[in-house]
Amino acid sequence: MSEFRTPHGVHLGRRSLVRIVGAVGVAAVAGGALAACTSDERSDSGAATSGGESAPEPTIVTSVAADEQVPVDHLVRVEAQGGRLAAVTVTTAEGTEVPGEMLEDGLSWAATALLDPGTTYSLRASARGEGGGEATAEVSFSTVELSLDEQTYPSIAPLADEEVGVGMPVVVAFDLPVVDRASFERHMSVTSEPAQPGSWHWYDDHQVRWRPDTYWQPGTTVTVDVAVNGVPAGGGIYGQESRTVTFRVGRSVIHRVDAATHTMTTLIDGVEARRMPISAGKPGFETRSGVKVVMEKFRTKTMDAATTGISPDDPEYYNIEDVEYALRVTNSGEFLHAAPWSSGSQGVANVSHGCVGMATPDAAWVYENTRRGDVVEVTGTDRRMTLENGFGDWNATPEEYAAGSAL
């Protein structure tokens, strides 16, 4: 066996393998064999063949040795020589089993998941020989310890079982940097029912997102699998935990803001549900044109201009408490919200500092009919939205977005 290929396409060069030879009741023989190096010798014992020649006893070869400490990114492998594997299990002391697959019709077995740090495992394998003989092997080994400073943890949005809008990207954030982005991306997937093509896009070493080529289809069920436990992130850091999250896409809600005509039209499942007068950003504070996605909802929100970089001694400074029905759409401070103080300008002029303000009844309706991930499409200004400003993922073509993949 020159190499193993796992179901995930990971190629593993041949490591120094431990060879275990024996028939039924082989424990003592196996114990002695574990200390030996791999060789091409075969046992001379075995059942006689029809031609009078003795058939070799089966041999079990493992990629770990008794009492060995192995790195967490090691994929355990087992091979049968002179026979075929009957069963292989790798378990922790608590009984948690490492998943794996039989390959080559029983000639070999390969783990399909990496290992946890600082954990003791028991490997048990059995094989049947070509001449009827049997062999068993039992190996106890452990993995190296890793501190929290050597492990990066993935946080995933949306949350499990959350219902989101059609514009919601998948967001995976890591608390420690992922330098080897390609290594991690090979172990991450997004699947949906119905299936929709899309791509990962790395924003930096701490965050990667996935979006479909077009808005999600309403009613889609999405599963995010971040199987990075033990995967090298580079710089001596490894994935801390594998996580799987499933969420659902609700109905299509798209708010179309036209800053030039001072109106907002809401479409629900493609049908116009409400048209409202609004006031957008005034000159110097223009509302960004492009595609935005609702990030958060606040029944009331204090809006302090200092959070956008405006000093309290600036004539443009403001601090308004208890702003009602606020929907955040950018990191830079743009919201959709109730703005009763600008009622005389709504539908007529843009007077805000970048937010979209509307009458309180309209804002209440928008708030009640909007969830995280719903879309806000803005036109009518020369100030452009960017990918990095909130969930700005849709401000790129599918080809431009896919260029941010590490693969």
Place of tokens 């087992």: 78
Is 355 a known active-site residue? yes
Residues 6+ apart with CB under 8 A from 181: 202, 205, 208, 406
Residues 6+ apart with CB under 8 A from 195: none
- Please name the amino acid found at residue 1: M
User: Pick from 60, 299, 295: which is nearest to 165 by CA?
Assistant: 295
Q: Tally the residues of the chain.
A: 407
CA distance linking residue 106 with residue 374, whole number of Å:
50
Burial of 208 (C-beta count, 10 Å sphere; 0-12/13-18/19+):
buried
Prior bond to 158 cis, omega within 30? yes
Is 206 a known active-site residue? no
- In a 3-state reduction of DSSP, which class is residue 149? helix
CA distance to 249, 333, 353, 383, 389, per residue, from 288 (Å): 26, 11, 11, 5, 10
DSSP states along 85-134: EEEEEEEETT-PBPPEEEEGGGTEEEESS---TT-EEEEEEEEEETTS-E
Which two tokens mark 36?
């030996």
CB 252 within 8 A of CB 243: no
CA distance linking residue 257 with residue 60, whole number of Å:
68
User: Residue 374 is inside which H or E element, if any?
Assistant: none
DSSP states along 20-87: EE-SSS-HHHHHHHTTSPP-S---S---B-TTSPBPPPPEEEESS-TT-EE-TT---EEEEESEEEEE
The catalytic residue among 74, 201, 255, 337 is: 337
Catalytic sites, residue numbers: 337, 355
